[in-house]
A and B are shown apart, each in its own frame.
Chain A
Amino acid sequence: MHVDVIIIGAGVVGAALAYGMALKGKHVIVLDGADRDPRAARANFGLVWVQGKGSDAPAYSALTRQSSDLWPGFRHELSKIAADRIDYERPGGLVYCLSETEYAHRAAINERTHNQGAQADTEMIERGALEHMLPAVGLGPDVVGASYCKLDGHVNPLQLLAALHRAVLVLGGRIEFRSPVKAISPVSGGFRVIGPHGELQAPRVVVAAGLATPALTEPLGLAMPMKSERGQILVTERIAPILPFPGSGLRQSADGTVMIGATNEKIADTSVTAASATKLAQRATRIIPALGSARLVRQWAGLRVLPLDKTPIYAESTDYPGLFAAACHSGVTLAAVHAAVIAPAMGGSHLPEDLAAFSNGRFNVQKCA
């Protein structure tokens, strides 16, 4: 079979790119890694989140907004093609503030983002108004207020990933799991991709292998500067609806479970700790004391894929045209824009100029003395 694009990595980034390309009629093959690989796509919090993103990077902030606006249509089309349910809602989202200092800090972040020209769609909400937004629960005494952004939403991230995988197949693509790629080698007219699946050849290769991306692209001179960060999450039993708005660190899923998370730890394994469970549970019960009576049913950890400056990287090799790489935190939020904008760009000729802010070249800029 003729293959237009080989995508390495079937996480939410690789899968969204494969889906977007398949929608444009490309023949895609997606190769995914080993069972034990870290998979942020299966461990994340499920927010489709705008507020605070890219508060120091206007292009990232704009890309996030674009994705957030594309999400409803993206979800509708994806769930139709995959014939699958994707729980998604966009009621706006909250960042709870548990002291005057936290409140002032959030207000400053909003200010900074709006000063960059972003629309003023995030507002600070004082405790009294917040109580009206959350009639089913009582707030803890420490809650001063919250920051509310009407663009924020949340999704079941496992349903999202499963739907992307299914849609790729429906659209004529192929996904090979347990096929960790060993190397990519340039050949005339494209690339040979070598691994347990044997050798595959295509004119284009997109590497979206999460934290394993640099190991695949750097031998070909394509730098992808990134680091990992562990995040632990707690989830409660299903309870009657109490949280009509997703929050950063606290959201109730469509099925009723309450997710509490995530920590930010400079640790590169996916084990969980009692210390983090305590810290997460304490903050959640300071916000909503009644959560203290909910049973925790699971705790897990995932590794964030963090470009060094936290802004997504969409890179294209200058030495080997046709070789691309993508890495980002917030791959759930950006899934819609990945499918609609980044995929066609990587499946087309070159990455357009307006994506230059996301190139890997930005890391080479010399610091002024």
Chain B
Amino acid sequence: MFKSVHEKPGKASDMTVLVNGVEIGAWNGETVASVLLRAPGAGRGSTVSRTPRLPYCQMGVCFECLVIVDGNASMQGCLVPVAPGMRIESQHGPREISK
């Protein structure tokens, strides 16, 4: 997994977010996708092949970073800046729409 360039011993992160219920430190200006790259086991399953995926292009084109943010499914994590207390959850398979 990756490590944030801001991460220094003895230096606190700017905020805490929840990834699949686990607290993780995050820094101002980073995106949900960048947090996913260093949160263990935060990948998702491809909706087509079901193979495991992580954010890839970081610029909104590949849709490999789809994630549930504060209850909203299919958000592109690389386009969403983090906010304190944000709830980020892995999205497995295609999104269900309510009846």
CB within 8 Å of B: which residues of A? 136-138, 237-240, 242, 255-256, 290-291, 293-295, 297
Contacts and interface: CB of A to CB of B under 8 A. Distances in A.
Given A136-B99, A242-B97, 7 more contacts: A237-B74, A238-B47, A239-B94, A240-B96, A240-B97, A255-B47, A291-B97
Contacts of B47: 238, 255-256
B38 interface: no
6 contacts: A137-B99, A238-B94, A239-B97, A240-B93, A240-B95, A290-B98
B5 interface: no
Q: Provide the main secondary structure of the chain B interface.
A: loop
A239 B99 contact: no
B12 to A, nearest CB: 36
Contacts of A295: 74
A290 B99 CA distance: 6
A126 to B, nearest CB: 20
Contacts, number: 37
A246 to B, nearest CB: 18
B48 interface: yes
Interface residues of B, number: 12
B99 A237 contact: no
A293 B74 CA distance: 11
B94 A240 contact: yes
A96 B29 CA distance: 47
Contacts of A137: 99
Contacts of A255: 47-48
A138 B99 contact: yes
B5 to A, nearest CB: 32
A138 B98 CA distance: 9
Contacts of B48: 238, 255-256
Interface in B33-48: 47-48
Sorted nearest first, the 10 A-B pairs with minimum C-beta distance are A238-B47, A238-B94, A256-B94, A240-B96, A290-B97, A240-B94, A138-B99, A239-B95, A239-B94, A237-B74
Contacts of A256: 47-48, 94
B31 to A, nearest CB: 18
Interface string B43-74: 00001100000000000000100100000001
Contacts of B66: 237
Given A255-B47, A255-B48, A237 B98 contact: no
Contacts of B97: 239-240, 242, 290-291, 293-294
Contacts of A294: 95, 97
A113 B54 CA distance: 52
A293 B75 CA distance: 12
Contacts of A290: 97-99
